[in-house]
Amino acid sequence: MTTEVDIALTGGRSLHAALAEPPPAVANGAGVLVVHEALGLTDDMRRIAARFADNGYTALAPDFLGAGWKPLCIARFVQGIGKVGSGRPYRELAAAQQWLGHRDGVDPARIGVIGLCMGGGFALLYAARGGQPVQVVAPFYAAVPKDDAILGDLCPTVASYGGRDFAFRGGAARLEEGLTRLGIEHDVRTYPGAGHGFLSRHGPWLTRIERVTPMGGGYDEAAAEDAWARMLAFFGTRLSA
């Protein structure tokens, strides 16, 4: 269950987001930022935020695309991600993190971030260069910077990739090699039978399209559940009080 919120930004703008809060009985005082894939803030992103809440976290899923013609909004988002540390998405996610850290029951020193696909690459860069420290990051099928030195200040990382995702082939190995060389604590895993987007539950028409693309995409329950278990265990250790 999520509620819709609007976060005030400078210049009179606002950032729309979905907020999922945990039941008091399981609340652990930590927060999670959920960064969406190219489709934007969908009901599936709300589902992912709600699952974090079910496990004790206050989860916030911002909408970086907003209203407007989606291809143009996506292009603007990608362009902003390319301005590492200073682009509009970084400023907006920093504002979302500050807002989340001011929620009752959330410790601003215990916030992690998860990102999927395009949002996964952004989550990596934000965690390393966003200016607002996070304690853990979980990129899913994320692009890895060509110069991994940019990740030198990255926090502990739990990353997941699909073995059938030919568009991101080699990404997991490159990320693991880079994190090992940089001495960053990590858990990187590839699921051989899964493709791109295996954590997300898209509608039937999109799933049919995903299955026949080089990304071999689509929800994979076995891979998704194992990734959830790894991620929650990793977050639980790094975000504990």
- Strand-strand pairing, 14-20 and 3-8: antiparallel
Answer whether residue 182 shows pLDDT above 80. Answer: yes
Give the domain CATH number at 78: 3.40.50.1820
Read off the pTM.
0.95
The CA-atom distances, in angstroms, between 111 and each of 3, 72, 106, 127, 158 are 19, 31, 8, 11, 14
Distance in angstroms (rounded) separating the CA atoms of residues 182 and 60: 30
Residue 20 has pLDDT above 90, yes or no: yes
Average pLDDT estimate for 222-237 = 98
Q: 205 pLDDT band (50/70/90 cuts)?
A: low
User: 93-136 pLDDT, tens per residue?
Assistant: 999 999 999 999 999 999 999 999 999 999 999 999 988 899 99
Would you tell me how many other CB atoms lie within 10 Å of the CB of residue 168? 22
Predicted local distance difference test score (pLDDT) of residue 212: 54
Average pLDDT score, the chain: 93
What pLDDT does residue 216 have? 62
Per residue in 51-71, pLDDT (tens digit) is 999 999 999 999 999 888 889
pLDDT recorded at residue 213: 61
Output the pLDDT for position 110.
Answer: 98
Q: Can you give the residue range of the structural domain that contains 124?
A: 3-238
**Amino acid identity of 221?**
E
Tokens of 77: 């988002």
Counting the structural domains of the chain, the total is 1
Angle at Cα 61 formed by Cα 57 and Cα 63, nearest 5°? Answer: 170
Cβ(216)–Cβ(166) below 8 Å: yes
Please say if the pLDDT value at position 21 is more than 80.
yes
* Residue 131: per-residue pLDDT: 83
Confidence check: pLDDT of 33 > 90:
yes
